Structure 1
Amino acid sequence: MKKNLALIIAPVKDVLIVLSIILFVFSGCKKDRPIDKETRYREIAWNYLSANAKTTVITPLQNAVITFETRDGVDVAAVMFNTTQDALLGPIFVYISIKDNKVLGIGARF
């Protein structure tokens, strides 16, 4: 009986070892993580700014504030960049359509 049991356990043990090796090898094969939506909106907004506007921005790109709102029936992401001219004009707001990731425009600065 013990010999029969040993004959059954040995192949199962080998299969478990092979499966463990396969899992270990393929666990390192991950797809690149997709950029999260907020990072994408920040990059789209930054790329939309003019070179002159970029020189006044004091907010690091990763710290730009994003708010989600509805404007004229369209869901938008509003990305806010603080600038050296905030006291005079206010921050820069870039509005991006959530549906198709296209810039709708820049908010008025007064």
Structure 2
Amino acid sequence: MKKNLALIIAPIKNALIVLSIMLFVFSACKKDRPVDKETKYRELAWNYLSANAKTTVITPLQNAVITYETRDGVNVAAAMFNTTQDALLGPIFVYISIKDNKVLGIGARY
């Protein structure tokens, strides 16, 4: 009887251990990862652009380069969109406050 009971309990114990490990690993996946933040910054920047500016953008939204800077003492994310006018004016930079997730404005183009 003890032998039969041990044969039943051992697989259950192993299954509980595996499930516990899986729960631990997958619970870490719920945190806000930098990739998710960068996607949010790209979308905020894209929505801020005027319709006229959007017609000149050649960078796909998901490929916009995100850089991190400090401007006037504020930590910002800068989304860069290449355009058909880069040779003349340069790319479009949209600055977003990291703290507030609000668009601060567009950088000057020369």
TM-score (norm 1): 0.76
Identity %: 70
C-alpha deviation, 1:98, in angstroms: 0.4
Map of 1:42 onto structure 2? 42
Map of 2:72 onto structure 1? 72
C-alpha deviation, 1:15, in angstroms: 3.6
Summarize the Cα distance change of 1:18–1:70 in structure 2 as closer, same or farther, 3 Å threshold: closer
Instruction: Kindly provide the amino acid, as one letter, of the partner of residue 58 in structure 2.
Output: I
- In the aligned structure 1, how far is the partner of 2:77 from the partner of 2:41? 7
Map of 2:93 onto structure 1? 93
Identify the structure with the greater helix proportion: 2
Runs of at least 4 residues off by over 2 Å: 13-20, 29-35
Moved more, 40-49 or 11-20: 11-20
C-alpha deviation, 1:100, in angstroms: 0.8
Instruction: Kindly provide the amino acid, as one letter, of the partner of residue 88 in structure 2.
Output: L
Cα deviation code 1:3-34 (max 9, x no counterpart): 43x243144147448759xx4xx97x988785
- What SS does structure 2 have at the residue aligned with 1:79? strand
The match for 2:5 among 8, 15, 24 is 8
Q: Give the number of the structure whose alpha-carbon radius of gyration is greater.
A: 1
C-alpha deviation, 1:66, in angstroms: 1.2
Cα deviation code 1:23-70 (max 9, x no counterpart): 4xx97x988785611111111100110111000000111111111000
Across the two proteins, how many residue pairs are aligned to each other? 103
Summarize the Cα distance change of 1:47–1:18 in structure 2 as closer, same or farther, 3 Å threshold: same
- What SS does structure 1 have at the residue aligned with 2:53? helix
Q: Unpaired segments of 5 or more residues in structure 2?
A: none
